[in-house]
Structure 1
């Protein structure tokens, strides 16, 4: 929870800080935002390997959290801006892929309580993401950006202290040397590699549109939306809390719906859910395009903003948890954190793409720009639908009569928010 508080608290302020205090142009700010979020999701590839082979999960989390806390505090000092961003991303590389797998190790593979434990974890994650824009956003917009960045650092430090205090309750790390070669081969087959590459390409395209929520969409929300509610103008950064709040509200209803569909044999496959989610996110950007068109050059009513977040979050819940779930289920022995981390490689490439797409904000009309985002998400949906047959075939090949405890670090349906 506190790690997410620090990450989303800092991210909610980043573009505003660059375009005001640092006086960066919109194109430069969008590019830096894209490079930062990309780097933050590239480092887990390296960090997951280091954790699997050398450090172990506990030490990786502790070292990663310490580095991230230092980076957040550096953000309070303007000359250290670039170094601070790099420091946060490096710490994230050790922290992000290793923490969830420790929950997995608390249970046997067939223990029915395991998915519910991850639901508790997921609620905590979203609680942190919900509180971050409210607290860090309020401090940053009211008292100065450095106060907001400092609050993010305090949050990361609180998370580290809680983790150290709770170590006696953590699972004992188990050696996976005894895993058999056939299992590894079955997961490293050509079909599996091609499938993950295909999904990664589709998610990369999708992220080009999705990641605009903290980039160009943040500028639209600040400059083109009337955020006055009951006579009080709500800070733009505080609206980012709507996304995790809606995740917490909507997830139980969505899971209940999928459970009913599964009982009737009508539940969508994981790839079908992902494609549906991409189309829903495309619809959310069409809503923004309509709001901009109907405003007639004025400021759109905040109800359009609320509508966008509801639709956007629903699409997120369809696509991101299921994508991570596919990668987790195909994780080979002794490479659990590494394979889960490879999911973040698609976020890395997608964030780079989003930074470049964001540069078009200054060259296109706002209506045309949001229609373009809808088109990008729709292309990703088409690619995901085309991979549905291959996904079903590969998942069927790796499925056994009983879940193997060493085949996955994260069960299907769990993802980091904004994120995730």
Structure 2
């Protein structure tokens, strides 16, 4: 306890809206990181499938959508690696810094006129960099406060606002420049955004963060280092050899790679559940809670599968099926990517107030998940109406897209923060950190599955596509709602 007190005394505890000054550092680091990521993502799909004469790469549209999904999946999977590196090798702050550097170089590669090879090099750098930065910057926020500090939840709320503000303005700025002038100029703005985040981090961390994130919680011993680095080296050599043998011969195509990642997206979380359930460290009560967690995890995969299509299918819909003129004002298709964070910024406080207001009368966790699935499904069902009314040969009113994004955000606020809370409460104590990684894998799994599903979309299949996926989500929501009492029993006293 003495060491903990010494650590907190090294952190300036006032200075940023009544919170530790370090929150300023992390708020703006994450603000600019999210600006760079969501700015890049707002125009990446268009860059991939636009013809070479239009400044794009000329990739087949279905393949481009599949690559977008796999990219998102790998970003979430890489968080497991970032968490391990922080816990065993570098500590939080150093891992965040190196992650930011990799992200910046990834955007720089995209900013340079290049080829498909440059695209994949950029993606690899951003996947690794985001995996290092994203989970660890949140952990460092937690290090600013003691466990009993009443400002803790409020601090995370302020930090969460930084995430969404960065995601909100990025498509408006990067999207406009990328689509109006040049894709590479847009990507350069994303690189500048991450550079600004690094500048804030470097010049304020020493003064504001103190010892937060500086320690390595579970450092490798000398013997472990040798074993781990040997295994990493062998693994890297094997991957290089497989790539050298399969890529030039045409065995490892983009389609084959996306299929492998899609399969891993299902196998990895399944293996996690099996290991935790069969472990001797898991008690009978914890096994029961783990069984209760499984249907909610499946529900989360279904939800994210719809929500994450906002940057793929709905981005394509905005570009090719939407009338981009509203009340005499010309819109950019990339601007619709700002709707999700915009609605979250305004509605998150409303939902927080609502759950407090309802108190013990609020829906149980499984019922909140079922509401999330209902709204997600409804966000796709409403997209049937324009095609059903006017066919798929005419451009639709942009307000249909606004409505779809609004509905899915209602679902997100019913499911996402509730899922984080449920994960911390239902996790076996011996696997608490790994179960949180498992929660983020629900998004990775969803996007891995999306990589195969999005290929099925076209104007000809539009009604069937939105109808089937939206209908399945609503059906799963109804089943989850009906089974909520039984699931609640397995939760063993957890609400």
Q: TM-score range by the shorter chain?
A: 0.7 to 0.9
User: Following TM superposition, by how much is the alpha carbon of 1:359 offset from its aligned partner in structure 2, in angstroms?
Assistant: 0.6
User: Following TM superposition, by how much is the alpha carbon of 1:270 offset from its aligned partner in structure 2, in angstroms?
Assistant: 2.5
User: Following TM superposition, by how much is the alpha carbon of 1:149 offset from its aligned partner in structure 2, in angstroms?
Assistant: 1.0
Comparing 191-200 with 345-354, greater Cα deviation is found at 191-200
Q: Deviations over 1:316-365 (max 9, x none)?
A: 11112222222234566797654433222121111011121101113852
Structure 2: runs of 5 or more not aligned: 1-30, 51-55, 219-280
2:16 matches 1:16: no
Equivalent residue, structure 2, for 1:200: 297
Q: Deviations over 1:284-331 (max 9, x none)?
A: 111111122223331111222222222121111111222222223456
1:308 and 1:35 map into 2 onto residues whose CA distance is 23
Query: How is 1:56-205 mapped onto 2 (pairs within 5 angstroms)?
Result: 56-77=91-112, 78-79=114-115, 80-167=118-205, 168-170=207-209, 172-173=212-213, 189-205=286-302
Comparing 221-230 with 331-340, greater Cα deviation is found at 331-340
2:488 and 2:85 map into 1 onto residues whose CA distance is 32
CA contact (8 A) 2:79 2:131 kept: yes
| Residues 216/158 of structure 1: CA separation in 2 closer, same or farther (3 Å cut) | same
| Residues 81/25 of structure 1: CA separation in 2 closer, same or farther (3 Å cut) | same
| Residues 187/71 of structure 1: CA separation in 2 closer, same or farther (3 Å cut) | farther
1:14 and 1:187 map into 2 onto residues whose CA distance is 47
User: Following TM superposition, by how much is the alpha carbon of 1:88 offset from its aligned partner in structure 2, in angstroms?
Assistant: 0.4
| Residues 197/160 of structure 1: CA separation in 2 closer, same or farther (3 Å cut) | farther
Query: How is 1:243-262 mapped onto 2 (pairs within 5 angstroms)?
Result: 243-262=340-359
Q: Deviations over 1:34-72 (max 9, x none)?
A: 111111111111221221222211111111111111111
2:370 and 2:93 map into 1 onto residues whose CA distance is 36
Query: How is 1:224-263 mapped onto 2 (pairs within 5 angstroms)?
Result: 224-262=321-359
User: Following TM superposition, by how much is the alpha carbon of 1:255 offset from its aligned partner in structure 2, in angstroms?
Assistant: 1.3
| Residues 392/249 of structure 1: CA separation in 2 closer, same or farther (3 Å cut) | same
2:387 matches 1:292: yes
Higher relative contact order (CA 8 A, sep 6+): 1
Q: How many residues align?
A: 391
1:206 and 1:190 map into 2 onto residues whose CA distance is 25
Equivalent residue, structure 1, for 2:90: 55
Q: Deviations over 1:367-415 (max 9, x none)?
A: 111112202322542564467457645765689xxxxxxxxxxxxxxxx
CA contact (8 A) 1:30 1:359 kept: yes
Comparing 281-290 with 368-377, greater Cα deviation is found at 368-377
| Residues 163/340 of structure 1: CA separation in 2 closer, same or farther (3 Å cut) | farther
| Residues 52/395 of structure 1: CA separation in 2 closer, same or farther (3 Å cut) | farther
Equivalent residue, structure 1, for 2:61: 26
User: Following TM superposition, by how much is the alpha carbon of 1:247 offset from its aligned partner in structure 2, in angstroms?
Assistant: 0.7
What RMSD, in angstroms, separates the aligned Cα atoms of the two structures? 2.5
Equivalent residue, structure 2, for 1:317: 413
CA contact (8 A) 1:13 1:140 kept: yes
User: Following TM superposition, by how much is the alpha carbon of 1:175 offset from its aligned partner in structure 2, in angstroms?
Assistant: 7.4
1:393 and 1:309 map into 2 onto residues whose CA distance is 34
- Residue 166 of structure 1: SS of its match in structure 2? helix
TM-score (norm 1): 0.85
1:393 and 1:101 map into 2 onto residues whose CA distance is 32
1:363 and 1:286 map into 2 onto residues whose CA distance is 15
| Residues 235/196 of structure 1: CA separation in 2 closer, same or farther (3 Å cut) | same
CA contact (8 A) 2:48 2:64 kept: yes
Equivalent residue, structure 2, for 1:282: 377
Comparing 119-128 with 209-218, greater Cα deviation is found at 209-218
Q: Deviations over 1:138-190 (max 9, x none)?
A: 0100111111111111111211221222213225346768xxxxxx7569943
Q: Deviations over 1:202-242 (max 9, x none)?
A: 32233332221111111111111112123222000012112
Query: How is 1:353-368 mapped onto 2 (pairs within 5 angstroms)?
Result: 353-362=449-458, 364-368=460-464
Equivalent residue, structure 1, for 2:314: 217
1:311 and 1:134 map into 2 onto residues whose CA distance is 21
User: Following TM superposition, by how much is the alpha carbon of 1:191 offset from its aligned partner in structure 2, in angstroms?
Assistant: 3.1
**Aligned with residue 362 of structure 2, among 264, 267, 289:** 267
| Residues 386/152 of structure 1: CA separation in 2 closer, same or farther (3 Å cut) | farther
